[in-house]
Amino acid sequence: MATTFDDMLQASDIVLGISSHLSTTDYLNFRQINKEVYYNHLKKTVDDQIWANKLRRLGLKYMESTSEKLILTEINAANVLQELTSYTVENAKTVYAQLYRLLQPFVQKLYKKELSGFFPNEYSDALSHARILMNLATYIPIEIADYSRYKKIRENLDIFRELFINTVVKEMDLGYENRNYDCVTEFVAVLSECGQINTAADFFKSKNDFSVEVQLPESILNADSSDVDSDCLQAALDTTKAFLNSKIVLADKIFGESFPVTLNYIENIIANNLTDFFDSQLTSSHGLLSASIKFMPLLYINIKNSLIDGLIDSQNAGPRFKNILTEFFNLYLEPKILSYLEVNVQLFAAKVQEEFVSFQNETALKEQQQNEQIYNSLRSKVSDQQLLDEKNNFLSSFTKIFKISNNSVSQEEEQLQMSYNLNVMNNNLHNIEMLVSLDLCYKVVQLCKTHIEDMRTFLDIQNLKDEVKLRCQETFKLLISGLSRDHFKPGFDKAIAVLEQYDPNQMKNLHIELENLNSHVEPLIKFTEIINTGDIVLQMISIFYKNELVQIDIVDKNQDFLNDIVQVKKNFETMIDDYVANGLNIGINKLMDEVLFVFGSLQLPTDYNPDPSLLGSREIKPSKAAYKNVELLLNHCFLLTGATDKGTIDIFQQEIGERFFNEIVKNIKKNLISGDGAIFLICDLNYYYDFIANRLKQKNIVPLFAGLKTVGQLYLVSGSDSKELGKMICDLGRFQGVFTQEEIYEMVQRRSDWVKVRRDVEKVMYGLGVSDCTII
């Protein structure tokens, strides 16, 4: 069975399908093809829906009830889509009819390509033209169902629009050249209406080209690139500022507040002109130390202060204008700032290294010169002496001089060598304080401060904040490691080596002394000076850490236990503490050597065991050895006061006290003490006690010396009281618990009458029925 066109029109679906593919005119005709289609398939309700769909696709809003302003006299082709914004099902056809009436004539012209006289006379201004074109661009796709027709219309619209925009730009150019800025402003609005504000911005940019109007200097550095020529820099920034200010005024005039152009315009200048300029200034490099990138902070600060802050306000760019500009600069300079941060750290490391190395070299050179000088002086002195000696020898005996002259020369050489060694040792000791230089430490700390401050210029840049902090921390760590590795370590190592070499007793054998050298040097006194320097530097570092890193939030105080910077700082402190402890220990050893020397040389056997016939002439006062030793201790025990913490001082003083105590015990055991001599021993022991209890005031060791005082009484007891002497030895509580019984027993044997009392004493001691005596 054949199907006719009429048959097909029986089916509603088919009719609706066909309708949806038809242009407006074709649809109107098709609906009237027969009664059934008109009344049935495309009856009024269906028809209304079809118009409503079209309006919906045009972007109009559906409303339930009829809007009041259906027909408004002022509706025209330029504003129709802006005025008619809603529809109801009932009025859809009417609304669409209006659109159609106003816009379809233009569509017709486009279809036929009748482009001359395209706009009727009632639309006289360019702005209306632009709007009509925009409305057409919206309206035309509604007929896309008739595709070939639509395509042609669309193409013609595009061609016509381009023509139109070109004409506008031409007119605008004309106006701009004639400085008719009002006219330019109008055309800007037209372009904006056409969605072509970029064209306007490009137009402005091409008319105000930075590279054409501004001539920046080749270089803002001095001839030798050692510094920034600040006049030159200022001039460059002033020129740029003047240029930008004039453009800000112009852009405000042309674009007002409606069409933002200025920000984009200036961003372009920053990105394409200024960044390149600054980059080229900062790239000239002649090795790390003179790399011009170190001027980055200076440039940045000048850009902010002389350029950005000097700009006038821009209406077009809005109130945040300068902030945004700063952000632009931050963004575009970021790569340079990053490499600056990196170089700055390297630069600091190199400078610090240089300082320490040249200090080491100078010290070594100075030492060498001094040693030479010592040698030469000794040499001349020895020859003089030798001459004199030979003369004496000559006068005394002819034979003698012939016998010893050869021998004597080599002896003198030996003597010279020894004197040289001792004098060098002595001189080294003098120089200990110079091994660590407070001035130098201060200098590098100051340098570190400057480097960190420079980097902090960029701390406010959000993107760079973490990097800046990291670099500052790195710099601080370099400071500490430099101080510790390249200065304190070699300094303390040398100082301790010198201390260790120093032999006070050998110094006393120094036969040939140079007048200009202080012959007697207290090694500890010298070492204290270096401790003092160490302490000051530690304090300096602590303050620096607090003020430059913590307070300014370079280091988070609350997380500092996580931070390796704190670890580095602690390691440095520990290192110095260890050196101090080590040095003090050696110093105490040397001091004890001297104490021993004093006991050995000044404590006479008759001190505690006097000749009874001379007793009456002796003052009861401390012996020379006691005076000398207390004086020695007095000179040393308070050296650290103010140079280090109380804990270290206490340990130091107690250590000296304890070791001195041991030396006294040894000294007692070395001497014989008679009943008459006991008061002199007691007098010495009282003197020691007085020093420890009332001068040193170290409570922990006072009992040791109180114990010694009691020991002194063992010698006072008459030999006829030997039994009670034995009891006393067993009464350990009497000696403050300081001594064991063996020690007391050893000491009591130093009684000059020991042979006589021994039997009785031992009888009591070794428990022959004496209940209060126990030996374990």
Question: Which residues of this protein are in contact with another protein, per CB under 8 A?
Answer: 613, 616-617, 619-620, 675, 678-679, 682-683, 685-686, 689, 693, 706, 709-710, 712-713, 716-718, 721, 724-725, 727-728
Q: Which is nearer to another protein, 452 or 682 (CB)?
A: 682
CB 704 within 8 A of CB 691: no
Helices (H), ranges, 397-487:
398-435, 438-456, 465-481
CB of 613 to another protein, least distance (A): 8
Pairwise CA distance, residues 236 & 217, whole Å: 7
CB atoms within 10 A of CB 135: 22
CB 156 within 8 A of CB 132: no
Q: Which is nearer to another protein, 286 or 759 (CB)?
A: 759
Which residues share a beta bridge with 228? 221
Q: Which residues contact 468 (CB under 8 A, 6 or more apart)?
A: 341, 455, 456, 458, 459, 461
CB of 571 to another protein, least distance (A): 45
Q: Which residues contact 45 (CB under 8 A, 6 or more apart)?
A: none
CB of 634 to another protein, least distance (A): 20
Q: Which is nearer to another protein, 658 or 721 (CB)?
A: 721
CB of 570 to another protein, least distance (A): 42
CB of 712 to another protein, least distance (A): 6
- Helix (H) / strand (E) containing 87: strand 86-87
CB of 686 to another protein, least distance (A): 6
- The residue among 580, 488, 585 whose CA lies nearest residue 531 is 580
Phi, psi of 555 (to 5 degrees): -120, 135
For 244-258, give the DSSP string.
HHHHHHHHHHHHTTT
CB of 675 to another protein, least distance (A): 8
CB of 616 to another protein, least distance (A): 4
Q: Which is nearer to another protein, 468 or 682 (CB)?
A: 682
What number of CA atoms fall less than 13 Å from residue 280's CA on the CB side?
10
Rg (CA), the chain: 53
Q: Which is nearer to another protein, 389 or 760 (CB)?
A: 760
C-alpha dist (Å) from residue 455 to 132, 280, 459, 717: 58, 21, 7, 80
Q: Which is nearer to another protein, 630 or 725 (CB)?
A: 725
Q: Which is nearer to another protein, 478 or 678 (CB)?
A: 678
CB of 670 to another protein, least distance (A): 21
Q: Which residues contact 66 (CB under 8 A, 6 or more apart)?
A: 88, 90, 91
The helix/strand/coil state of 751 is strand
Q: Which is nearer to another protein, 533 or 710 (CB)?
A: 710
Q: Which is nearer to another protein, 91 or 710 (CB)?
A: 710
- The residue among 498, 497, 487 whose CA lies nearest residue 521 is 498
The rounded Cα 339 to chain-centroid distance in angstroms is 16
C-alpha dist (Å) from residue 393 to 108, 386, 397, 412: 143, 10, 6, 15
Q: Which is nearer to another protein, 89 or 716 (CB)?
A: 716
CB of 762 to another protein, least distance (A): 16
Q: Which is nearer to another protein, 430 or 709 (CB)?
A: 709
CB of 658 to another protein, least distance (A): 19
